[in-house]
Amino acid sequence: MRYRTLGRTGIRVSPYGLGGLMLATAMGNTPEQSAGLIHRALDAGINLIDTSDAYGDSEEVIGAALHGRRDDVVLATKFGRPAGDDPNRRGTSRRWIVTAVENSLRRLRTDRIDLYQIHYPDPATDVEETLSALTDLIRDGKVRAIGASHTPVSDIVEAQWVAERRGLARFHTEQPVYSILNRGIERELLPVVQRFGMGTLVWGPLGQGLLTGRVRGAGGDLRRAGMLRHLGDERRIDVAAELLPLAAEAGLPMTHLAMAFAIAHPGVTSALIGVRTARHLDDLIAGLDVRLTDDVLDRIDAIVPPGTDVGTLDQALVPPALTVPGLRRRPAVARAAA
């Protein structure tokens, strides 16, 4: 296993990380089955596990599975998504952070979290308050490093500036979506996180199932299953089908091509995988040492140009500036005066 340094933290992580969403019992496995997957991944050298307090009982399942093996794992979790109807049980305020971290520590059965991340940006809270609270968690030894996810590039820059100006801990990582089908972060986000020495944990490297090899063009399995309404854009399926001959010529399963691409960018530290069966996990682990040639990468570029997204990812964050009309419209009185 060729481990990589997580930003400038000095923490070494595997190029694949185990995502915690699929480990929740609501996803179909028993806690014992999920524990088996966790141990199988650890035995293969994967040492990064990433979850969230919003992934059902994932934290509890992981915490129980890591009994006796906690020191072998770089344990990451996230906070910020609503935890009930109470408006103060969400977001990135100090009030919620100090409560959320204790809840996660209890569920994970540990005394420290290696990487504590904001799940989604919280425009209602000043970033200085958030960084101040997270800095205190680091000083208290409850958290080793901090990060964020789904963050607009401008907010990444602002957070780094505030941390330097105020003498606070800075975000060490960012967690965006990235795959052959979603390359938009290559345009600005990856160059910016590299400039600031941040690590990048990418999710969705298999394109939400489109890059598993099941897509066979017109009349393929996913089309017959009516998946278009979930995957957002028929163009994504067409492009996934275009990649199949390339994978075959390279002598690779489609999954290995997709994963090797995701970890080939120098700005990417680790790609998070979500698996529910040992067969799926073993298939992905078998491709850990795959390195794509420049010729293969050039051909991928010809199909999906660098810095572009194919279609719209339905899980992608839409910033408030686009969803809240009041943020992009002058008040009626001001418009009339103009």
Residue 47: strand, helix, or coil: coil
Determine whether 55 is an active site residue.
yes
Task: Yes or no: say if 302 and 228 are a contact pair by the CB < 8 Å rule.
Answer: no
Phi/psi for 287 (5° steps) reads -100, 10
Q: Cα 174 vs. chain centroid, distance in angstroms? A: 8
Phi/psi for 334 (5° steps) reads -65, -40
Please report where in the chains the tokens 């958290």 appear, as a residue.
143
Distances (CA, A) of 260 to 70, 250, 280, 296, 300: 28, 12, 16, 11, 12
Please report where in the chains the tokens 């066979």 appear, as a residue.
216
Going 82 to 83 to 86 to 91, the CA torsion angle's sign is negative
Ramachandran region, residue 125 (left: φ > 0; alpha: ψ -120 to 50; beta: rest): beta
Output Rg (C-alpha) for the chain, integer angstroms: 20
Tell me how far apart the alpha carbons of residues 296 and 253 are, in angstroms, rounded to a whole number.
14
Q: What DSSP string runs through 78-141?
A: EE-S--SS-TTSSSS-HHHHHHHHHHHHHHHT-S-EEEEEESS--TTS-HHHHHHHHHHHHHTT
Per the DSSP assignment, residues forming a β-bridge with 309 are: 182
Residue 305 CB neighbours (<10 A): 11
Please report where in the chains the tokens 């569920």 appear, as a residue.
107
Tell me how far apart the alpha carbons of residues 258 and 179 are, in angstroms, rounded to a whole number.
7
Of the residues 16, 55, 120, 178, only one is catalytic, namely 55
Known catalytic residues?
55
